[in-house]
Structure formats: structure tokens, C-alpha cells
Amino acid sequence: MKSTAKKLAALNLGVEAWLDPPTTSKIPAADLTVTTHLHRSTASMPVLGYAKLEDAWQLAIKEEKIIYQWNDDAREEEEVSEDSYRPLLKASRDVRLRALEQLPQLLDALKRQGEAVLKTIARAQKAAEAL
């Protein structure tokens, strides 16, 4: 895992990418947490990605927490999302091992993001040349 992280950092991509939660349901399914309290429930799942954290581009985990709470005034349930981020290398061993399974999908996502950035730069250069 560390060698992959070093290789990605050496590429100096500067591109952020995250897998979609359905794709990462294996990271880890056991860590899908649902807690329920009176008029409030919370669900969270870690999502694998690559982002700039702690002043460095690195493999990362985004903990997507969704809070469902009952609004008595509106007589309906409200959904509130909160995200927290941490380096993958600081995650639990279970999360790191399960993340390995998803690494090929993340590399594909990074490649797509990088290609999109290159296309945007090429269009901007053409537009600047046309001025």
C-alpha cells in the first residue's frame, strides 16, 4: 500500500477522485454503521479516493455520514450529510485491506479525471491562441 501511495505521489497528478459509494460497498461492508436514537438515525460508510490531505496528495478514506432526523414542525424526515476525511494509511487494517480490492477502480477513476483535465487545458490553450 505504501509503495502504491509513493508511486501515485511521484506522478504529481494533482487530481482528486473518489469512488462512488455503491462501488465501494465492499470497503468495508462490516464498517457500514447504522445507529438509531429517538427521532434520529445515522448511517456511514467509508469511500476510497485520492485527494490532498495534510498538505500531500494521497490515498484517502472519506467517511460519508448521513443523519436522518425527524422534523416535528414539517412532519417529515430530514437528511443531513457530513463528510470527514483521513489518509488511508491511517485507517484500520481492515479498511486498508478492503481498499486494496478497490484500487484498480480508483486508478481507472484517476485516469479518467486526469484525461478530463488534459482536455480542459487543451481547450483553454486553443481558446487563448485564438485571441
User: What DSSP letter does each residue of 39-101 carry, written as one string?
Assistant: TEEEEEEEEEEEEEETTEEEEEEEEEEEEEEEETTTTEEEEEEEEEEEEGGGS-HHHHHHHHH
Element holding 91 (H helix, E strand): none
User: Which tens digit of pLDDT belongs to each residue from 33-84?
Assistant: 555 555 667 777 789 999 999 999 999 999 877 777 776 777 777 777 778 8
Indicate the pLDDT class of residue 108, thresholds 50, 70 and 90.
very high
Sign of CA dihedral 96, 100, 59, 66: negative
Query: Cβ distance 12 to 75 under 8 Å?
Result: no
DSSP character at residue 45: E
Domains of the chain, residue spans? 2-130
What phi and psi values does residue 82 have, to the nearest 5 degrees?
-135, 135
Query: Cβ distance 27 to 67 under 8 Å?
Result: no
Rg (CA), the chain: 19
Q: What percent of the chain has pLDDT over 70?
A: 83
